[in-house]
Structure 1
Amino acid sequence: MTWAECSMDKIAIAILNFNGSGFLKKFLPSVIENSPEATIYVIDNKSTDDSVEVLLAQFPAVNAILLDSNGGYSQGYNEGLKQIEAEYYVLLNSDVEVTPNWLQPIITMMDADETIAAAQPKILSYHEKDSFEYAGAGGGFIDTLGYPFCRGRLFLSLEKDEGQYDDVHRIFWATGACMFVRAKHFKQHGPLDEDFFAHMEEIDLCWRLNNAGLKVMYNGHSAVYHVGGGTLHKSNPRKTYLNFRNGLALLYKNYLRWELWIKLPIRLMLDIVACIKFMLFDSFSDGLAVLKAHYHFLLDLPSNYKKRKRINQRVVGGEYAPIYRKSVVLEYFIKQRKKYRELTPDSSNTR
């Protein structure tokens, strides 16, 4: 069901909501105030709180798309975006505070280069506004074993924002917390993988965009503030499960065959090391979540094999290779390099 008329927008901001009434009250006013050039949509994932009532009563200018079930981040956006016609989609988490002129730098950049398929702004912490936020920070990358990291964030180490990433830079993935994507490329290379439910589906999409020869960009002249953990806290075993299961599916779907045979066993071994560490020193429940993730990854192999066959795997390279061809695990845990700029330079990657 939609309360919006079907018309072609230049920019459509799509906010996915599930039981986020408090976030809508707190953050939607900043989106409305600072986005006069955009049409705003809230896609509700069958909330059981008063989200819909709040939306219709307090924000009548916002277009509501009401879904019949909660299929997670991926299905929610896939279904909601089918009802939105626009040149650019901006996928925005409900727990994000936007700033004045946050849209224009990125839209201007994308208008000037048709090969840019997706982009993100600088993602700062809502609670510590001088620090980068976990989900996206200064732009996302993956290492040779498929571990995601960001400029401004390696694993749980977050950098202070001192202007070091106030630039425009090609990246490997743009965060789903605030992701600008050209609608025609989303339709051509999407949708988001609904089996992921939540977490890493944006990396999976961006991998396909990179494989198609398209660019994913970061623009530090735009900034937003993200609460983070609005749906699942970072210490939640459910989040651990999704990250480990989806991380393996991500690699299985997208690696070249020779990479898969060499690197997937290494990744599986490192996951087991992480599992043991969780159980002995951190959270036994998180350790069990890793084992559950591996079990379901094996059960899902037939389905993921069919997806893999449909994807055009190729070496992402050329003048710029957005995959870091070293191990960020080795750099961080063994060499104790806690900041992006401390990583050993990758000769295949202009950083």
Structure 2
Amino acid sequence: MKKVSVVTINFNQDKITEELLISIAATNTYENLEVIVVDNGSTVNPIPLWTGKYPDVKFIRSESNLGFSGGNNIGIAQATGEYYFLVNNDTEFSPGLVQKLVDILDTHPHVGIISPKLVYDFDRSIIQYVGFTQVDYYTCRNRAVGKNEKDVGQYDNLLGQTGYCHGGAMMVKKETCEKAGLMADNFFIYYEEVDWGERINRSGYQAWVRGDAVIYHKESMTVGKNSAFKEYFMNRNRILFIRHNAPAFKAFVFYIYFVLMVVPRNLLRYVKEKKYNFINILFRAIWWNMTHSKHSTELGFTINKVS
């Protein structure tokens, strides 16, 4: 039985993270499991309290917020499992989840990473994810399969290749990480798991999804209104993803598309919504890509309150 290391990140969401830990303990029957929580520079360090409450969990403290990619990479570095199960802290496990994903990785050597079906926790009949389509390099857009569909069992028999796994829950082989590398730290958040998925695909492994393995995600379907933080990194990292992955001609077409279509559309939206400060945010995101190497770790944005 291969060892599985569950890795999750906490940032000022102690109660949510504890709910995940309780969920794992209540539902898991997989015997060879370690659980790792990376505290990503929370304002108040929860680890001293947690150490007594959860003696079987490994806690790691980062004094600064390293984002989704950096936090997970810290956890992976100290994980001892042959499989790493990276999960958002705002998820809850269902019975048999770990075993169902392990079964696929154990029996399919060409599968390097796998996700379960994600459903929304606030209404467990609504699907969030059962796969991703490939990113179109010309527009840097793709689609989540099954998103917002009513779950009536239509994906329960789904098992097979998908474009990318979902950052909310993805189990990856240690050997995949050794061959493809870890997530690029300079994405910080947004597009990082898709960029990682591109490298995993290029390294010769496939990404799969299993529809009868389920994890519940507390993210709302209407996590709607963008913050300046989200607006900056969504635009910055969309361009950065293309710089990392697209062939030269497709990248050139994307840049034209972004300037002629995306920028005017976004500017109109900002004016309509009276978010005039976002205008500067958008151009900062573009300027960062014009003035920084695609491997630069300079974020170009002050990180304070972000989970």
The TM-score range, normalised by the shorter chain, is 0.7 to 0.9
Map Cα deviations across residues 50-105 of structure 1 (whole Å, 9 max, x no partner).
52134213211111122232211111121221111221000011110111011122
> Among residues 64, 74, 83, which one is paired with 1:79 in the alignment?
74
Q: Is the 8 A contact 1:34 1:100 kept in 2?
A: yes
User: Matched residues in 2 for 1:225 and 1:251: separation?
Assistant: 31
> Among residues 286, 290, 298, which one is paired with 1:294 in the alignment?
286
Structure 2's unaligned 5+ residue stretches are: 298-307
User: How much has 1:252 moved relative to structure 2?
Assistant: 1.2
User: Matched residues in 2 for 1:287 and 1:223: separation?
Assistant: 40
Code of the residue aligned with 2:228 in structure 1: it is: P
Structure 1's unaligned 5+ residue stretches are: 1-7, 308-351
User: Matched residues in 1 for 2:118 and 2:294: separation?
Assistant: 31
Q: Label 1:172 to 1:125 Cα distance change in 2 as closer, same or farther (>3 A).
A: same
- Residue 97 of structure 1 pairs with residue 88 of structure 2: no
Q: Label 1:234 to 1:96 Cα distance change in 2 as closer, same or farther (>3 A).
A: farther
Q: Label 1:278 to 1:53 Cα distance change in 2 as closer, same or farther (>3 A).
A: farther
Code of the residue aligned with 1:132 in structure 2: it is: I
What residue in structure 1 maps to residue 257 of structure 2?
A: 266
What residue in structure 1 maps to residue 300 of structure 2?
A: none
User: How much has 1:233 moved relative to structure 2?
Assistant: 6.7
User: How much has 1:124 moved relative to structure 2?
Assistant: 0.6
Structure 1 segments of 4+ aligned residues over 6 angstroms from their partners: none
Q: Is the 8 A contact 2:101 2:210 kept in 1?
A: yes
- Residue 239 of structure 1 pairs with residue 230 of structure 2: yes
- Residue 114 of structure 1 pairs with residue 106 of structure 2: no
Code of the residue aligned with 1:237 in structure 2: it is: A
Code of the residue aligned with 2:132 in structure 1: it is: G
User: Matched residues in 2 for 1:262 and 1:110: separation?
Assistant: 37
Code of the residue aligned with 1:213 in structure 2: it is: G
Map Cα deviations across residues 105-159 of structure 1 (whole Å, 9 max, x no partner).
21111111111111111111111211123xxx11122234221320023xxxx22
Q: Is the 8 A contact 1:275 1:288 kept in 2?
A: no
Q: Is the 8 A contact 2:179 2:203 kept in 1?
A: no
What residue in structure 2 maps to residue 282 of structure 1?
A: 273
User: Matched residues in 1 for 2:64 and 2:296: separation?
Assistant: 26
What residue in structure 1 maps to residue 213 of structure 2?
A: 222
What residue in structure 2 maps to residue 23 of structure 1?
A: 16
- Residue 169 of structure 1 pairs with residue 160 of structure 2: yes
Q: Is the 8 A contact 2:36 2:75 kept in 1?
A: no
Q: 1:44 aligns to what SS in structure 2? A: strand
Q: Label 1:35 to 1:270 Cα distance change in 2 as closer, same or farther (>3 A).
A: farther
Q: Label 1:209 to 1:234 Cα distance change in 2 as closer, same or farther (>3 A).
A: farther
Q: Is the 8 A contact 2:100 2:213 kept in 1?
A: yes
What residue in structure 2 maps to residue 160 of structure 1?
A: 150
User: Matched residues in 1 for 2:216 and 2:247: separation?
Assistant: 36
